[in-house]
Structure 1
Amino acid sequence: MIISIGCDHVGFEHKALVISHLEQKGHQVIDLGAQSAERTDYPQYGKAVAHSVISGQAERGILICGTGVGISLAANKVPGIRAVVCSDPYTAQLSREHNNTNILSFGSRVVGIELAKMIVDRWLEGEFEGGRHQNRIDQIADIEKELTHG
């Protein structure tokens, strides 16, 4: 799987460890920054990863900041993105199965690296179930259309 990843300065150390974990599992990773622990702003990385997923450059994306919240909010502004903030593997799995999330976000100040790896693994293993859940995803897409097209 091709996975894009982005973070701000707070998530920089976790990002490197997650990239290594993903590559060990055979995934191709597109690193969209940050490239150092020097202070930076998370919205640019949320946007970059979201655009890589929507454009098809990456199949899914992963975002990391202090809590996972701010960077996911930026990503969710891109139509078609369903970014979820997860602090546990169960939520990560269900977000894929029920909500067909295409970006996973978590906080490096909230979850340790070993838990982060478990969250990533469960999220990547999750498969969208469709069925009744597709109707709800369609309703979310309709809201986006209403808001972007008047």
Structure 2
Amino acid sequence: MKIGLGSDHNAFDMKDSLKSYIRELGHEVVDYGSDGSCTEIDYPGVAFQASNDINEQKVDRAILVCGTGIGMAIAAGKVPGIRAALCHDTYSAERAQKSNDAQVLTLGAKVIGIETARNVVKVYLESFFSGGNSARKVQQIMDKEQEFLRGAEV
């Protein structure tokens, strides 16, 4: 898969470590956000760019890292069609994909360590949406999103 990997300046070290790990797992990485310089990078722009690239099929999924992962999840989730999941454990990462078809995983660099992050990323990338009863629930979310978008056009 082609994985978008982005961070703000607070999470550059984790992103940099995850980049080589994701490649070791056999995936291509598209890098977004901080390059490790002192320059502050605001997480919303990183999340918007990676999420737009998912919608435009430039990447298959994205992993976004900021201090807590919360801001990235909120920002990515504002892009129509995107389901972002903040996960700090492997069970949640698996369910984000299998039950919710989350295209975006977010992590908090100040919340978990790199080994935990690697485990979460590995499980997320090895998990795939299973449909079934979950497909109905995901469709309900997507339908409501479309309803809100139509209301905004009026």
Q: TM-score, normalised by structure 1?
A: 0.97
Q: 1:78-117 counterparts in 2 under 5 A?
A: 78-117=79-118
C-alpha deviation, 1:24, in angstroms: 1.2
The letter of the residue matching 1:31 is D
SS of 2:111 mapped into structure 1: coil
Alignment correspondent of 1:48:
49
C-alpha deviation, 1:25, in angstroms: 1.4
1:37 & 1:83 partners in 2: Cα distance?
27
Instruction: State percent identity of aligned pairs.
Output: 38
Q: 1:1-150 counterparts in 2 under 5 A?
A: 1-38=1-38, 39-150=40-151
1:90 & 1:18 partners in 2: Cα distance?
19
2:63 & 2:147 partners in 1: Cα distance?
27
C-alpha deviation, 1:40, in angstroms: 2.1
Unaligned runs of 5+ in 1: none
Q: TM-score, normalised by structure 2?
A: 0.95
Does the 8 A contact of 1:64 with 1:71 survive in 2? Answer: yes
Measured at CA, do residues 145 and 83 of structure 1 come closer, stay the same or move farther in structure 2, by a change above 3 Å? Answer: same
Does the 8 A contact of 1:12 with 1:35 survive in 2? Answer: yes
Unaligned runs of 5+ in 2: none
SS of 1:73 mapped into structure 2: helix
Describe the superposition over 1:87-108 as per-residue Cα deviations: whole angstroms up to 9, x where unpaired: 1011000111100110000100
Does the 8 A contact of 1:12 with 1:37 survive in 2? Answer: no
Does the 8 A contact of 2:11 with 2:109 survive in 1? Answer: yes
